[in-house]
Structure formats: structure tokens, C-alpha cells
Amino acid sequence: MAEPTFEASPELVIGVTTAVVSFLVISILLGFLGRRKAKSFEHWLVGHGDIGPLITGFALVASYLSGWAMFGNAGLGYAYGWSGSWLIGTVNLMGIALCLVLGYRMRRYVKLGARTVPEMLRVRFESKLAQAVAALAMIILLIVYSVGQFKAMATVWAVTTNTSFYWSLLLTAIFVLLYIGVGGYAGTQWVSCFQGILLTVVGWTLGIIAVFWAGGFSQIADAIRTETFVAPGGTQTSIPLSGYTLPLPPPQGLAFPGVDWIGVGGSMLMFLLMATGFPHNIARFLGSRKITKKEYWMMLAIVALGSFTAMWIGTVGFAARAVWGNRLMLDQYKPMYGDSAAIFVSIDSGGVVLASLFAAAVFAASVATLGGMAMIMATNITRDFVHNVRPQTSPKILLWLTRLTLIPFIAIPLWWTFTSPPPILSEFVAGSAVAQAGIFFFVVGVSMYWKRATKWGAIATVFYGLILTLLHPNAYGKSIGLYHWGYWAFAMMLGSALVYFAVSFATKPLSKEKLEKLFPQGSQQPT
């Protein structure tokens, strides 16, 4: 097997810097235009409610495809072979399509005064407590998810410019702060569309080129058949990478979702629920206009293109493993390990041009997700806590407070990544994804459609989900013997469902008159 020979040439440094800076400048300009159009704090949050299917579709792709999909997927394919496919998200289109179907009803709550996802819960349950509890859970889970975005951007910057990983982290944080500070929802919706197009085109291109670079599909499959699992740091095993499950030794190995078919089932359920459960995803519908049936099909086509982008990036990881064997799992590639596969392949297979475009695409994916999440977290504070407690606070103060609050929500995950970067980023952020899927699919997604849901059902689900989050096999789960990711994921998602439905049935829903306002007769027309 060859070694990834690579040097950060001046051409590459200039190419990557130009691509990333150009991407950021275009994004910031679009964000600035969006901000200028926003006449009030509310406009800044949800735009003008006039966003069409093209923009909404690509914005959804951009917020869904994070550093996990656009970058980490190659690390999964590289480190785990075919069993990495479960976290690569071969079935992610199922979940995004479900989000398209369910998320559209957010518009109804915008008309009733909701401007954030937790506010939708306040309107749905007439409960400020439900709003505040959901906002708190979002902040906790989104901080964890943000860590992966920082690692993706910093790895790309570090590898291509020969800057240290830690300086790269700091630089990317400044980029993100600048970008979000001038953006806002109206801006980021347009920016996200631009980013969605960019990362779709680059992801497909890199994936296809990588297959040819590695000698074709069959050569990659043949090579993976001969590979065995190597843990980050270089510990060799005799466990083959050729299967769709990877029986890693217990107890630590059980924390990998692809370890057996129970883990596989858990990861499939996660992908089915998480697109709707991600607050930064479903929030994309807050600014959307009325969509026709034809336009719905257009949105499906767009998100299908996006979901296959994630699979192409996974393909890059398989190609890298076929060509370089297990080299990237050795200590000399710490702390990036297999996560660096995609950027090395882009350099080796497509030179400066492809590497620069890929760097910009990774920034696009990470920044779009991070931007959406930071906005959610900041507005959780201003809109869902401050405005909740002190409704007379002026919109101007809320707007500035939101901008200021962005700083800690960028700094906290930055510090986390700085002090303990996760070895395989996708595996790490999947923990937060399961929690968001388990909690918010029901609390937000199902509550928009199920009249019998109650605020106590929603609140109990949030608390249950947060407790289960602490019991992740790589957190405190092992202290009670919970080592298996699959069992944990099922306990999280099915347990959340059980708590949500059981507590809702046991408590009193809103009055019939109030529910009629939220679920008007004839609004849904079965034909």
C-alpha cells in the first residue's frame, strides 16, 4: 500500500485560501443583503415568509449535510469499511423526505406567532415552560453537534495550509463568528441555498473522481476485502472490514453502531427520525412560502441529490482505504486520523483545483450547519428565555443580545474541540443526533399533527431524552453496564416515544376550542 505523499505547496495554500475566503465573502455578502432587507427582529429571524421550494430545498440540504456528511463520512468509510455505511447514512433520504412531509406544517405556527422552534411549542401547548425546557435541551445537544463541525473545518485547513490543528481551529472560529454575525435567518436561508448547491456539486464530483482514482468500483471492493480494522492510534486487529457489521470486541467495541444488527437497526431509526428532529433543519420551514404539489416534487429531487452527496463522500473513504490501506489510522495522523481521508484524496486525485473546491465545500457544510445551530441556540436565549420572562424587551435589544449570545455558543464547542477533539467525528456527533431524533421528532414533529399531545408529554420526553443522553455508552452508560450503542439508541428513541405517548394520554390536552384553532377543520384534505 502507498503512503499519502503530500506537501502543502504554495499553490495549494493559495488555492485553498482563495476558495475558502471567496466562499466566505460571497456568503457574508448574501447574509448582509438579507440583513439589510430585514426591517425588524422578527424579519431577521424568519425572513418574509416568501422562500420558495428551490431555496428551501437547497437550504435544507446545506443544514442537513454537516461536517459529518461532507467530511466525516469519508472517515467512516475509511476506518470501518462497509460497516461504516450505517453512519454514512445510506438511508438518509428516508428521513429527509419525512422531514419535507412533516416540516411544512411549521408555517401554520408562524402564522400563529411562532418565530423559533421552541416558540412553536409555546403556541402548540400554550406553555412557556415547554418552550423553555425545549430551548434548554436544544442548547445542550447542539453544542455537542457543533464540535464535529469545528473538527471538520480545522482538519481541512490544517492539512491544506500546513497550519497546526489548534491554530486552524481558532481561525475557523473567527470565520464562523464573522459569517453568522452579519447573517441572520433571512440571509442564511439564501446563503444556505448557495452552500447547498456548492457542496452537492463538489461532493458528487469528488466521489466520482475518487472511484476512478482508486481503479474503479471492483478494485475498491477487492481491496477492502483484504483489510482489517485498525483502531485510531494504530492498534491492529484481525477483524475484516468486508462485512456490513464489524464485530469489534466488547465492551468498548459495542459503542460502534455497526457492531451488530441491533446497532444497525438503531442507526436506521436514527436516520429516519433525525432530519425532522434537528431543530436547525425543521426551522428551514419557518420562512417558507406556500408550496404547490409540483414544487414538492422539485424539493424531493433537490434533497435526493443532497442525500446521495453524503454517499459519494463515503465512497471517497472506501477509495482511500483501497489505495492507502490503514496508514491514516496511525499516530502520525493524530488527531485527524481517518477523518483526513477526504482532503488527502481530493489533493491526490484532483490537485489544487479539486482540493480548493473541496475545502470550500467542507466549510460550506460546516458553516451552514454551525450557523443554523448557533442561531437556534442564540435565539433560544433571547426569544425563548429573555422575551419569555420580559416580553416588553425592545426588539432592538433582542437583536443585539442575539448577536452577542452567538459568541459563547461558538466559544464553548470550540473549547471542547480544542481540549478533546473526537477521533472519528461522525461517530461522536451521532450521539447528539440520536438524542435530537428521539426527543424532537416527537416533541416537535408529531405534536404538530397529533391533537392529543400534551405539554407534560413533551416536557417529560425532553427530560427523559436528556437523562438518556448522559447514559451514552461513551459517557456515563458504562457505569451502569450500558456499553451497547444499539440498545442505547433504541432506549433513547423508542423510550422517548413511549414517554411522550404515555404521559400525553395520562394528562389533559388543550381544550377543544383551542385545538380547533391549531387544527382547523378542512385544512387537510384527504382525497
Partner 1 sequence: MKTLLKTVLIFALVLMFLLVPVVAFLLKDWYAYWGMGFLALLFGIVLIYLKTRYYWEED
Residues in touch with partner 1 (CB under 8 A): 82, 85, 90-94, 96-98, 100-101, 104-105, 107-108, 217, 220-221, 224, 242-244, 261, 264-265, 268, 272, 290, 293, 296-297, 300, 303-304, 307-308, 311, 314, 522-527
What are the residues whose beta carbons fall under 8 Å from the beta carbon of 137, sequence distance 6 or more? 439, 462, 465, 466
Closer to partner 1 by Cβ: residue 481 or 522: 522
Closer to partner 1 by Cβ: residue 166 or 244: 244
What are the residues whose beta carbons fall under 8 Å from the beta carbon of 315, sequence distance 6 or more? 77, 207, 210, 211
- Phi and psi at residue 511, to the nearest 5°: -65, 160
Cell (9 digits) for 52: 420558495
Output the CA–CA distances (angstroms, integers) from residue 432 to 73, 137, 152, 158, 302, in the order listed: 16, 11, 16, 26, 26
What are the residues whose beta carbons fall under 8 Å from the beta carbon of 101, sequence distance 6 or more? none
**Distance, first Cα to last Cα, the chain:** 60
Closer to partner 1 by Cβ: residue 158 or 224: 224
Closer to partner 1 by Cβ: residue 4 or 314: 314
Closer to partner 1 by Cβ: residue 162 or 242: 242
| Shortest distance (Å) from residue 398 CB to partner 1 | 28
Closer to partner 1 by Cβ: residue 414 or 444: 444
Closer to partner 1 by Cβ: residue 44 or 86: 86
| Shortest distance (Å) from residue 160 CB to partner 1 | 28
| Shortest distance (Å) from residue 373 CB to partner 1 | 25
- In this structure, the dihedral spanned by the alpha carbons of residues 228, 234, 237 and 238, taken in order and rounded to 10 degrees, is 30
Q: Which residue has the cell 481521508?
A: 341
Output the CA–CA distances (angstroms, integers) from residue 83 to 76, 79, 184, 214, in the order listed: 8, 9, 39, 20
Closer to partner 1 by Cβ: residue 83 or 379: 83
Closer to partner 1 by Cβ: residue 100 or 141: 100
| Shortest distance (Å) from residue 264 CB to partner 1 | 6
- In this structure, the dihedral spanned by the alpha carbons of residues 466, 468, 471 and 472, taken in order and rounded to 10 degrees, is -90
Q: Which residue has the cell 426591517?
A: 39
Closer to partner 1 by Cβ: residue 106 or 352: 106
| Shortest distance (Å) from residue 246 CB to partner 1 | 12
| Shortest distance (Å) from residue 407 CB to partner 1 | 38
Closer to partner 1 by Cβ: residue 293 or 512: 293
Output the CA–CA distances (angstroms, integers) from residue 189 to 105, 116, 343, 375, 409, in the order listed: 18, 14, 27, 12, 20
Burial class (CB in 10 A: 0-12, 13-18, 19+), 466: middle
Provide DSSP, 363-421: HHHHHHHHHHHHHHHHHHHIIIIIHHH-TTS-HHHHHHHHHHHHHHHHHHHHHHHHH--
Closer to partner 1 by Cβ: residue 110 or 186: 110
| Shortest distance (Å) from residue 313 CB to partner 1 | 13
| Shortest distance (Å) from residue 368 CB to partner 1 | 22
| Shortest distance (Å) from residue 323 CB to partner 1 | 16
| Other beta carbons within 10 Å of 136 | 17
| Shortest distance (Å) from residue 92 CB to partner 1 | 7
- Phi and psi at residue 229, to the nearest 5°: -70, 135
| Shortest distance (Å) from residue 404 CB to partner 1 | 36
Assign residue 95 a region (left: φ > 0; alpha: ψ between -120 and 50; beta: otherwise). Answer: alpha
**Bridge partner residues of 228 (DSSP):** 240
| Shortest distance (Å) from residue 494 CB to partner 1 | 15
Closest by alpha carbon to 80, among 314, 331, 284? 314
What are the residues whose beta carbons fall under 8 Å from the beta carbon of 88, sequence distance 6 or more? 69, 73, 76, 77, 310, 311, 313, 314, 426
